[in-house]
Structure 1
Amino acid sequence: MIAAIVNPRAADRRAERRWPELRPQMEAVLGALEVYQTTAPGHAIELTRKALGQGARTVIAVGGDGTVSEVVNGFFDGTQPVAAGVVLGIIPLGTGSDLCRTLGLPLEERAALEVIRRGATRRIDLESARFETLEGRPGQRLGVNITSFGMGGLVAARANRASKWLGGKALFQWTTLRTALTFRGNTVRLRLDGRELPPVKITNVAVGNAQFHGAGMWACPRAVVDDGLLDVTVFRYLSLLEIVGAFPRLYNGKIYEHPKVEFHRARRVEATAEEPAYLEVDGEPVGRLPLEITVLPQALTVCVPA
């Protein structure tokens, strides 16, 4: 049984507009689908678990990075798989589709469908993040792409509320600059595999399983999705003008050449802050520091180009 988890609201309802034409194309290639449509944030987690309970072993996320992330979280109860032998397929209909960039997945729907039909797969790592929710309770979330904190948590919250008519790249650039006008930095303490770093005032810290976020921002260009490690990019505090000046390096893979950017690698990342510091997981604003991230090695099987 193949299930499709469809987020009709993805990319200003692009998925809703495309689905009537896309569904028969998918069924012509893959056979009958069990289709589940989301109606609210977090709903894809619930629907994925329902599909697995009904026997689905291939689950296709139709939407953006947020939809993919929720489907992945539906594969697990905490950090334990809900079912064995489950495979993730992706039809990218979102604003950013950043995970696809790392995995080399095509962004065109028919080509993405062909990847699923051919059946080649890759086992990749996941991040397991524990943090404080915005309501002050303990929270846990799995991430497949990048977790970031500092200005990134604020940018994600604003971007998710904004209209997507500008397109992904322009939206995240505009939201980043708008947020930078008033953001004064966070002073954080990082502990990497138990080794504590000196306190540092940051604009953002990106902890990457994959390489991209923010619709093409190349925050963790050295990340490998199946190496059992987290790539940690520390952006020390940057003024608005310094952020504008850093944009070219952030998109061309040369961000580590910037004098205020540091690179680290670890299996466990812990972070605390002296003031409220907000975080996002796979583009979803979920809470604030303190934060602990560990690796779940090769915990997810995903369809990739052969």
Structure 2
Amino acid sequence: MEEVKILFIVNPAAGGGKALKVWTKNIYPILEKKKIEFDYLFTKKPYDGFNLALEGIKKGYKKIVSVGGDGTVNEIVNAIMLQDIIDPIEISVGSIGSGSGNDWGKSVGIPTNFEEAVINLQKDNFILQDVGKVSYIQKGVEKTRYFVNVAGMGFDAEVTYRANKSKKRLFGKLSYSLILFSVLFSFEDPYVEIKIDGKKVYENQALTLNVGICRYSGGGMMLTPKAKYDDGLFDITVVDKISVGTILANLRKIYDGSFINHQAVKTFRGKSIEITSKEKLYLEADGESLGDSPLYFEIFPQRLKVLSG
């Protein structure tokens, strides 16, 4: 079988510049050593990943791999889902994580070892995973975005917004934990209403809300710990307004998912979700700050072909 040429889309700014070093010192030499057919392009500004992937699809690439963080993956996925050249399921997407989170790769079983990740691309092993679509408001205009991992609202979205703006760009748990503490004492819990598959399931003040296809987000947190990437359902986690002391006492449990056993946490599953709020409820998806409420989520079962271990 003829080997399909891979298009790598590299975000050199991901992980505070880590992605560029990983590409130059690790991935590129491995690709050359193994004589793999590939081309590569660098992003220069936000949403370049989308445009470069779209151009790649027009040129006939059917295997596109992100070298960056979850945000780069998200842009590539949006190009795959929005293009009308071929069926999205005919395009394979992969990732060699080198950003500050890389939670999606962990969720779908992509190897963290660079050489193993490259070998995995040659094997062409894949899974089919669900894709989410969210409608939201950005500067007064309704917009939509596809996502493949986790969307967060409320406290979670505020932490993500601050993390994306942070100039230090520290990595992983440390980065999110430091910013989390800075938001903790100033956040005002919005009053939200949630409908799942047309039925109202929640109406109260909420600290944070998450809609997940996969399990990991925020640098290793498990905010939707029971999510399955191919079951055709969103997992929804809602945390009621609680005291700072309660948050601090349960912070470690976010990393193993056991926080969902707390009485202030509600969990749901469904195919469509509508979220409204009295105040502006901010949204992030796959670590990208997007806009605010009202929000509507729908799921597309097993619509993404993922190169996985």
Tell me if both proteins adopt one fold, taking TM over 0.5 as the criterion.
Answer: yes
Counterparts in 2 of 1:112 and 1:86: CA distance versus 1, 3 Å: same
Aligned residue among 272, 283, 286 for 1:282: 286
* Whole-Å separation in 2 of the counterparts to 1:294 and 1:269: 7
Does the residue aligned with 1:197 lie in a helix, a strand or coil? strand
1:268 matches 2:272? yes
Q: Is the 8 A contact 1:249 1:258 kept in 2?
A: no
Match of 1:190 in 2: 194
Matched, 1:235 2:278: no
The percent of aligned pairs where both chains have the same amino acid is 29
Instruction: Report how far residue 56 of structure 1 moved.
Output: 0.4
Shift of 1:89: 1.3
Amino acid at match of 1:51: G
State the alpha-carbon separation in 1 of the partners of residues 196 and 83 from structure 2: 23
Q: CA offset at residue 242 of structure 1?
A: 1.7
Contact 2:130/2:299, CA 8 A, preserved across alignment: yes
Match of 2:48 in 1: 43
The letter for the 2-side match of 1:123 is L
- Please state whether the residue corresponding to 1:72 is helix, strand or coil: helix
- Displacement of 1:247: 1.2
Q: Which whole-Å CA distance do the structure 2 matches of 1:198 and 1:105 have between them?
A: 35
CA contact (8 A) 2:135 2:144 kept: yes
**Structure 1 stretches of 5 or more lacking a match?**
none
Cα pair 2:54 2:83 within 8 Å, conserved: no
CA distance in 2, matches of 1:131, 1:54: 32
Contact 2:89 2:304 in 1 (8 A): no
The correspondence for 2:304, drawn from 290, 300, 305, is: 300
Change over 3 Å in CA distance of 1:136–1:80 after alignment to 2: farther
Q: 1:25 aligns with which of 26, 30, 33?
A: 30
Say if 1:94 and 1:124 are closer, same or farther in 2 by CA, change over 3 A: same
For the residue of structure 2 that corresponds to 1:202, the secondary structure is strand
Equivalent residues of 1:122, 1:304 under 8 A apart: yes
Inter-CA distance 52–79: structure 2 relative to 1 (3 Å threshold): closer
Unaligned runs of 5+ in 2: none
Deviations 1:138-166 (A, max 9, x none): 11000100011111111111101114553
Give RMSD over aligned pairs.
1.7
Structure 1 residues 215, 90: closer, same or farther in 2, change over 3 A?
same
Report SS of the residue matched to 1:111.
Answer: helix
What is the aligned partner in structure 2 of residue 70 from structure 1?
A: 75
User: Which of 7, 10, 15 is the aligned partner of 1:11?
Assistant: 15
Deviation at 1:179, TM superposition (A): 0.8
Is structure 2 residue 39 aligned with structure 1 residue 34? yes
Determine whether 1:112 maps to 2:121: no
1:48 aligned partner, one-letter code: A
